[in-house]
Amino acid sequence: MASGALSVKDFLDKAKLVSYGFFGLLILFLILFFSSPYLLISKADPKKSDALVLEAIETGKKDKFKQAAALWKKGLAPVIVILHSPPNQDSDLGLVGDPTSSLQTYLVSLGVDETKILVYTVESGPQEFPKTLLKIALDRQWKTFLLIGKEYDSATLLKLYRNVLEPAGIYIAVSKVSEGIGAWDWFTKPKSLESILGRLSKHLYLILLGN
């Protein structure tokens, strides 16, 4: 046998190690893939809070507003805070004219007392919502919030808000709005697959950034 040549045994051992590494990575990928929905769902328990929080951006959804109204009626919080970024034609809230008035009117139509609705316009965009909420909390000496968010956005939202609020001793949880996407069959539908994987990428990116 020539010097430096691999024996059959050495070759098989190396091939075995490579295959173990490949299948290990494959299994890890499959576990991450199929568990994606669970990684995106917040585990924080909603509880009675100083205020309910609604994000009203260009895709402010009626289902989130309906859930906020239902929770307010149940007494989970005395007021509803709306963090508003100017909507566009994609909004399904039917906003006409002054957005602040329209947002209040819509919640009033769902049975919420108008005096219990606080609207804060954040011109710089949704990325500043957590900092705006922190300012509100400090001004009003509030310590607990319940944010209304889509089910598969809830873990990401919680991470973004907690990074800003927790250092100030402020607790926040997310009340999850169902999206009609099954945790067991989401990958069988193209739109659900695209939606979940896109959100998973954002969530993992935030983790990698340390946010």
Q: Could you report the per-residue pLDDT of 21-34, keeping only the tens digit for each?
A: 766 666 666 666 66
The answer, yes or no, to whether residue 1 has pLDDT greater than 50, is no
In a domain, 91, yes or no: yes
pLDDT at 174: 93
Is position 120 within any domain?
yes
What is the tally of structural domains in the chain?
Answer: 1
Contacts of 103 (CB under 8 A, 6+ apart): 56, 60, 82, 84, 93, 95, 117, 119
Contact in structure between 145 and 172 (CB atoms under 8 Å)? yes
Question: Which among 55, 37, 45, 47 has a CA at the least distance from the CA of 161?
Answer: 55
Q: How confident is the model at residue 173 (pLDDT cuts 50, 70, 90)?
A: very high
pLDDT > 90 in the chain, percent: 40
In a domain, residue 89? The reply is yes
Could you tell me if residue 123 is inside a domain?
Answer: yes
In a domain, 175, yes or no: yes
| CA 24 – CA 17 distance, rounded (Å) | 10
CATH code, domain with 146:
3.40.50.620
Read off the pLDDT of residues 38-93 as tens digits, 9 standing for 90 and up: 778 888 777 899 999 999 875 456 889 999 999 999 999 999 999 988 755 455 56
> Is residue 101 in a domain?
yes
- Place 97 in a pLDDT band, splitting at 50, 70 and 90: low
The pLDDT value given to residue 198: 83
Tell me: pLDDT of 168 over 70.
yes
Range of the domain at 116: 51-179
Taking all residues of the chain, what is their mean pLDDT, rounded to a whole number? 82
Residue 191 included in any domain: no
* For helices 190-209 and 154-165, angle between their N-to-C axes, nearest 10 degrees: 20
Q: Is residue 2 part of a domain?
A: no
Say if residues 95 and 102 touch (Cβ distance below 8 Å): yes
